Structure 1
Amino acid sequence: MIPLPPQTSHTSLPRQPVLFLPHGGGPCFFMDWPDTWDRMAAFLRGVSQTLPQKPDAILVVSGHWETAIPTVTASAQPPLIYDYYGFPPHTYHLRYPVPGSPALAGQVQALLSKAGIPNAADPERGLDHGVFIPFMLAFEEAGIPVVELSLQQDLNPAAHLRIGQALAPLRDQNVLIVGTGLTYHNLRHFMGENPASNAISHDFDVWLTAATCAPEAERNAALQHWDTAPGARICHPREEHLLPLMVAAGAAGADQGEQIYQDTVMGKALSGFRFG
Structure 2
Amino acid sequence: MNLQTLPGLYISHGSPMLALNPEQVGPALERLSINLPRPQAIVVMSAHWESNALEVSISIRPETWHDFRGFPQELYQIRYPAPGNPELSEKILGLLSDAGFAVHANSTRPRDHGVWMPLLHMYPEADIPVVEISLPMSMTSDDIYKIGQTLAPLREQQILLIGSGSITHNLRELTRTGDTSIVPEWASSFRNYVVNKLSHNDVDAILDWTTIPHVQRNHPTLEHFAPLFFSMGTGTRFSLVHSSFTMGALGMDIYRFD
TM over 0.5: yes
After superposition, the C-alpha distances for 1:189-220 in whole angstroms (9 at most, x for unaligned) are 024689997110000011110122223xx32x
TM-score (norm 1): 0.87
- The one-letter amino acid of 1:187's match is L
- The one-letter amino acid of 2:71's match is F
Q: Distance in 1 between matches of 2:65 and 2:57?
A: 12
Q: 1:213 corresponds to which residue?
A: 199
Q: 1:29 corresponds to which residue?
A: 19
Kept in 1: contact 2:175–2:248 (CA 8 A): no
Kindly tell me: are residues 178 and 71 of structure 1, through their superposed partners in 2, closer, same or farther at Cα, counting changes over 3 Å? same
Residue segments in structure 2 that go unaligned for 5+ positions in a row: none
Q: 1:168 corresponds to which residue?
A: 152
Residue segments in structure 1 that go unaligned for 5+ positions in a row: 1-8, 32-36
Instruction: Return the offset for 1:50.
Output: 2.1
Q: RMSD of the alignment, in Å?
A: 1.8
Q: Distance in 1 between matches of 2:35 and 2:56?
A: 26
Count of residues in Structure 1 that have an aligned counterpart in Structure 2: 255
- The one-letter amino acid of 1:251's match is T
Of all paired residues, the percent bearing the same amino acid is 33
Are residues 1:271 and 2:257 paired?
no
After superposition, the C-alpha distances for 1:3-27 in whole angstroms (9 at most, x for unaligned) are xxxxxx2xx4331111111212023
Kindly tell me: are residues 99 and 214 of structure 1, through their superposed partners in 2, closer, same or farther at Cα, counting changes over 3 Å? same
After superposition, the C-alpha distances for 1:98-131 in whole angstroms (9 at most, x for unaligned) are 0100011101100000100010111111210111
Are residues 1:112 and 2:96 paired?
yes
After superposition, the C-alpha distances for 1:164-199 in whole angstroms (9 at most, x for unaligned) are 111111111111101111001000002468999711
Kept in 2: contact 1:83–1:129 (CA 8 A): yes
Taking the TM superposition and a 5 Å limit, the aligned residue runs for 1:231-242 are: 231-242=214-225
Q: Residue 41 of structure 1 is aligned with which of 4, 12, 26?
A: 26
Q: Distance in 2 between matches of 1:155 and 1:117?
A: 10
Q: Distance in 2 between matches of 1:229 and 1:87?
A: 33
Instruction: Return the offset for 1:270.
Output: 3.4
TM-score (norm 2): 0.93
Q: 1:96 corresponds to which residue?
A: 80
- The one-letter amino acid of 2:114's match is G
Are residues 1:245 and 2:228 paired?
yes
